[in-house]
Amino acid sequence: MNTIPQPQPTPGDTTWFTRDRFGMFIHWGLYALGARHEWLQHREQIDADSYRRYFKHFDPDLYDPRVWAEAADDAGMKYFVVTTKHHEGFCLWDTAHTDYKVTNTPYGRDVLRPMVDAFRSEGLRVGFYHSLIDWHHPDYLVDPYIGPHRESPNRAKLNEGRDQNRYADYLHAQVRELLTGFGSVDVLWFDFSFPQRGPEGKGRDAWRSEELYRIVRELMPNVVLNDRLDLPSGWDVKTPEQYQPRSWFTVGGKPVVWEACQTFSGSWGYHRDESTWKSPEMLVQMLADTVSKGGNLLLNVGPTGRGEIDERALDRLQAMGEWMHRHGRSIYDCTQAPAEFEPPRDCRLTYNPRTNRLYVHVFAWPFRHLHLTGRDFVERVEYAQLLNDASEISMQESTGGIETAGARPEGANVPTLTLTLPIEQPRCLVPVIELYLKG
Ligand code: GLC
């Protein structure tokens, strides 16, 4: 009996998605020049005229998407999702529907097409994030919750003449551009609906989401679509962000395809002075933890206004890549372990159903022994090795541990497979023990 959660089939093709597991999120726009979070226009209530200083100075002269694509590929990432347009409304491609686009900045060239080409040539799948929210478009209704005018006493005056329906037409037209002008798009990542915020909240009606959904499925039927259009169905993947779910993500009590999106630091967009950068070890643990619960990790970089991924991110990508180089097979094509295998303390289990191998990700290296309790470990593990160097790990059946004399520990009569480990932790961020299962 299969004791691994089985999500319902999705409208889009998530077979490659749940195999690849690890992707790069890219938040890049005019906010990179502000260098203090992609919501700076909202946080500092910067009106369009004043925010235009970033448009007038956007000139990422060091931009080379081949460098970005190589960094993602070397990190072991298999797909990328880039902000074609974030809430600020600025577009990274030569769209026919607005002048607020990169080709009209001093840089003067489309940055999206070369990015798609570069990542595709590195073998990564292509994903587009597209903001439903737009703080620049003349027809987007100003609301009291989100945006540069949320506190303005003149909201009613600002909204005179605005027509949210016309904005939805613009939104749909740009989505058509993105799904017809860049070849096959594998992921479409809308962000975000907020109908629950109050009477002026925006959801499916503001975007005409049902119509937009039909356009998406007509133009790119297999695309992996996220869950932020405020539609009860049709989405393929749930998208928790900035926390680690405690277990496989469910909707209505049923397991679903899910992807955690996370940042290296406290900001999605480039933030020069933000210092809460996660350690490489924490990042690898988050990746293993996510896959151990059947999820994907979409890890974000915020490139600078010069067009580079900054060193703090590059250093972490490189460290993760070194780990993935030897440990990738404990992530790719892996999922949550069958329920009968209980992970030891400070460990996570991932499992590859095709090779029938279990992976023990050891977050805290124990002294000498690791006890795998339960009859299934005793009866079904055929061989064990350290994944980093394929060195054998000896194992023996015991009744709860290697005891000499004296009182037997708590649970001593539980069937246990005890692994004998080297005293020194293997020189890698998170050691992994590969367990070959019988049959
Ligand atoms: C949050 C942030 C937004 C970011 C998104 C990514 O909604 O506010 O800026 O693009 O997360 O999931």
Q: Can you give the pTM of this predicted structure?
A: 0.97
Beta strands in 72-160 (DSSP E): 79-85, 125-131
Residue 165 token pair: 């329906």
End-to-end Cα distance, the chain: 14
241 lines ligand 1 (CB under 6 A): yes
Residue type, 251: V
Compute the distance from residue 149 Cα to the ligand 1 centre, in Å: 19
Compute the distance from residue 261 Cα to the ligand 1 centre, in Å: 9
**CB burial readout 285-300, b (16+ within 10 A) else e:** bbbbbbbbbbbbbbbb
Report whether 284 contacts 328 (CB < 8 A): no
25 lines ligand 1 (CB under 6 A): no
Please tell me the predicted confidence (pLDDT) of residue 409.
Answer: 60
CA distance readout (Å), 51 to 47, 83, 88, 192, 209: 6, 19, 9, 22, 29
**What domains can you pick out in the chain, each with its CATH number?**
17-332 (3.20.20.80), 337-437 (2.60.40.1180)
Handedness of CA 219, 225, 231, 233 (dihedral sign): positive
Residue type, 222: N
38 lines ligand 1 (CB under 6 A): yes
pLDDT tens sequence for the chain (439 residues): 779 999 999 999 999 999 999 999 999 999 999 999 999 999 999 999 999 999 999 999 999 999 999 999 999 999 999 999 999 999 999 999 999 999 999 999 999 999 999 999 999 999 999 999 999 999 999 999 999 999 999 999 999 999 999 999 999 999 999 999 999 999 999 999 999 999 999 999 999 999 999 999 999 999 999 999 999 999 999 999 999 999 999 999 999 999 999 999 999 999 999 999 999 999 999 999 999 999 999 999 999 999 999 999 999 999 999 999 999 999 999 999 999 999 999 999 999 999 999 999 999 999 999 999 999 999 999 999 999 999 999 999 986 445 544 455 665 678 999 999 999 999 999 999 999 999 8
| Ligand 1 probe mutation, 83, 134, 189, 191, most atoms within 8 A of CB | 191
268 lines ligand 1 (CB under 6 A): yes
Compute the distance from residue 269 Cα to the ligand 1 centre, in Å: 9
Compute the distance from residue 146 Cα to the ligand 1 centre, in Å: 12
DSSP-assigned beta bridge partners for residue 331:
none
28 lines ligand 1 (CB under 6 A): no
Compute the distance from residue 300 Cα to the ligand 1 centre, in Å: 10
Please tell me the predicted confidence (pLDDT) of residue 413.
Answer: 76
Please tell me the predicted confidence (pLDDT) of residue 404.
Answer: 45
Quick one: which atom of ligand 1 is closest to the CA of 87?
9
Handedness of CA 16, 324, 338, 396 (dihedral sign): positive
